[in-house]
Amino acid sequence: MGKYEQLCRGEGTGMTPRRQSRLFCRHSVLLLTLAEMEKVKELAKPRVSPNIGWSYAWLGAYEHPMVDKINQRIEDLTGLDVTMAEDLQVANYGIGGQYEPHLDYRQKDEPEEFEDLVEGNRIATWLLYMSDVPAGGATVFTEVGAAVRPIKGTAVFWYNLYPSGEGDYRTLHAACPVLVGSKWVSNKWIRERGQEFRRRCGLQEKD
């Protein structure tokens, strides 16, 4: 059985004390109000594009003041400039909905996609849970042995790139299958451009 399956089963693979000490606690307060989360779902539902096990929609800041307000809140909390960030992606996972282990950043062995990123690579990911999930639906990080259970109104944030700009393979993550209920999340992928004075650069490849 792979790490993905183990973590989804709640068995885990364990984390070293050093890695555990470097993790930040998730906010226990609502980062979005219930009314704001319901508004995001309302805006997304008419335009969701069905996929295997899940569906999604993109919301631009210009489409509704609520989306612009959420983008500003992400900027305030992360300290990163969201001007060049991608639109807010809203996703819904039904029963059995999941997403295999993947990296959010574009790797250098993907030359065509990498060259097209005029706003830079995805430096960071913001993932907000907009529903509780009675069973399943955790976000798992297979390389570090961590699992995050969806709790409505809370978010997970991580850097995909080292300060040097190199990709951090430890961010390999996946969405476990939803066993009971429905999982709503919103993602914000923040790009490198505009962060020059927001995050200090590093000279070492994996600084």
pLDDT digits (tens, 9 = 90+) for 88-132: 999 999 999 999 999 999 987 665 555 556 789 999 999 999 999
Residue 14 has a CB neighbour count (10 Å cut-off) of 10
Do 25 and 121 contact (CB within 8 A), yes or no?
no
* Res 180: pLDDT: 96
What is the rounded average pLDDT of the residues 170-175?
96
* Res 11: pLDDT: 84
pLDDT digits (tens, 9 = 90+) for 47-57: 887 777 789 99
**Backbone dihedral region of 59: left (phi > 0), alpha (psi from -120 to 50 degrees) or beta?**
beta
Do 138 and 148 contact (CB within 8 A), yes or no?
yes
pLDDT digits (tens, 9 = 90+) for 13-47: 666 677 666 665 544 456 888 999 999 999 999 98
* Res 78: pLDDT: 93
> Does the pLDDT of residue 165 top 60, yes or no?
yes
pLDDT digits (tens, 9 = 90+) for 75-86: 999 999 999 999
What confidence category does residue 4 fall into, taking pLDDT thresholds of 50, 70 and 90? very high
- Global pTM reads 0.89
Q: What is the CATH number assigned to the segment(s) 3-191?
A: 2.60.120.620
> Does the pLDDT of residue 67 top 70, yes or no?
yes
